[in-house]
Structure 1
Amino acid sequence: MSYELFYWDGIQGRGEFVRLAFEDAGADYVDVTREPGRGTGEMMRLMESTVEAHIPFAPPFLRHGDQIISHVANILFYLGPKLGLAPKAEAQRWFANGLQLTIADFIAEVHDTHHPIATSKYYEDQKQEAKARAAEFVTNRIPKFLGYFERVLEQNPDGGGHAVGGGASYVDLSLFQVIEGLRYAFPKAMRHYEPQYPGLLKLHASVKSRPNIAAYLASPRRLAFNENGIFRRYPELDIAP
């Protein structure tokens, strides 16, 4: 039974955190809106359905048989054990879910650097507010979140450079994507901060070298970062801390 991922076509966005798990595991999945004959229309019909009992509020969401699961952390909590990307111990699984929810908070703050007033308005309509929000994000929020995840890596009792447990998990893959996105959107800031977080850099390199991830990154399935996604490169927002 194929997994069906529903997310906006043309951007990595939040859907990329789920794609990385599928790709690393070599799972059989369909990126629905990128499929000829299906596209965004099928996703919108499901979201706007008047008969589906479990309608999702927004993408990404997953359909697996009769099951529909929305929200990145919720999707990965469901997929992790099935794809071999979650710890076996229940307590560690809940901790992994908490880490993924913290990543979700971080991603929301990344988004708000370029859309601090309203998602319905263009970036150009809120540039001054975006500069103020991005300055706060670069100065205080990047080190707040990255410092936390660095400590998580340092204090993992199972070691091995993983976020939770003794093996790779979906949290490791998501932290890789966070670093990739920050490097794209805030290269100046990241050049300043990266030396402070050797554990995260080691984790990033380890994930990037995983065979299935390396193949995915080199393939056309990996969409490029662009200024329609969550991580956007606006030079005026990338300040030196």
Structure 2
Amino acid sequence: MAYELYYWDGLQGRGEFVRLALEEARADYVEIARGPEDEGLGTSAMMAVLGSRSEPHPPFAPPFLKDGDLIVPQTANILLYLGPKLGLLPRDEGLRYVANGLQLTIADMVTEAHDTHHPLASSLYYEDQKEAAKTRASDFIDHRIPKFMRYFERVLRQNPEGDQHLVGNALTYVDLSMFQLIDGLRYAFPKATKRFDEQYPRLAALYQAVMTRPNIAAYLASDRRLPHNEQCIFRHYPELDKASR
């Protein structure tokens, strides 16, 4: 049976980290919210699961994955579940938890990237918090991007299996997620990331290596890959972008 991925139609968002893993593995999956309503799919089908009163463990929010009767919520949790099935985790059990820790750290940075344009409240429009967003984005560019990226660059450098992957000696979902994180930052903050390749050469090399993998390249060129946009996590507002220090 195909995996069922539930996430908002029209957005890369947190669902994109799961899509990249499924696409790299050429797994059979269906995007429920992107399907036609008259076939029992669409956003209403996703909302029916979220609001279910019969499901014993309903998910809080998208993304979540259905594999048969099992519902797996939360991006990092989904990837931890899929990793062994898709061949995107080391066999060593300890390294699997290392990978999960790195994925959770990526999730932390994704949240901080979101909060650059919504620093006061998610329920408010960006236009209602623009001044606070400028302050938050400036700090994110000057302090948080370097702090996170220096850490990830160090993880690559200190990997005993070599600096081509974040964990172990073969591609994992963490490498795919790092690609997506960097891609989102480059979209949202082109000025701030202009010197990214120079500042973080190992991460830049990883980004290029993932982007040119045959299955990922085919996905990026397809209509399955949704474009970045200003309704998503990574948003490009020119007034929030500036050159890094």
Q: For 1:33-182, what aligned pairs fall within 5 Å after superposition?
A: 33-37=33-37, 38-182=41-185
State the partner residue of 1:14. Answer: 14
| Alpha-carbon displacement from aligned partner over 1:140-197 (angstroms, at most 9, x marks no partner) | 0000011110001001101151000010000000000011101100000001343110
Name the CA distance, whole Å, in 1 between partners of 2:184 and 2:163.
24
Match of 1:204 among 207, 212, 215: 207
State the partner residue of 1:186. Answer: 189
Q: Is the 8 A contact 1:143 1:193 kept in 2?
A: no
Identity of aligned residues (%): 63
Name the CA distance, whole Å, in 2 between partners of 1:182 and 1:157.
28
Q: Which amino acid aligns with 2:209?
A: S
Name the CA distance, whole Å, in 1 between partners of 2:21 and 2:196.
27
| Alpha-carbon displacement from aligned partner over 1:79-110 (angstroms, at most 9, x marks no partner) | 00000000110010000000000000000000
| Alpha-carbon displacement from aligned partner over 1:30-53 (angstroms, at most 9, x marks no partner) | 011011121110111110111111
Are residues 1:32 and 2:21 paired?
Answer: no
Match of 2:9, SS? coil
TM-score (norm 1): 0.99
Equivalent pairs counted in the alignment come to 241
Q: What stretches of structure 2 of length at least 5 have no aligned partner?
A: none
Match of 2:4, SS? strand
Match of 2:226, SS? coil
Name the CA distance, whole Å, in 1 between partners of 2:221 and 2:242.
30
TM-score (norm 2): 0.97
Name the CA distance, whole Å, in 2 between partners of 1:19 and 1:58.
17
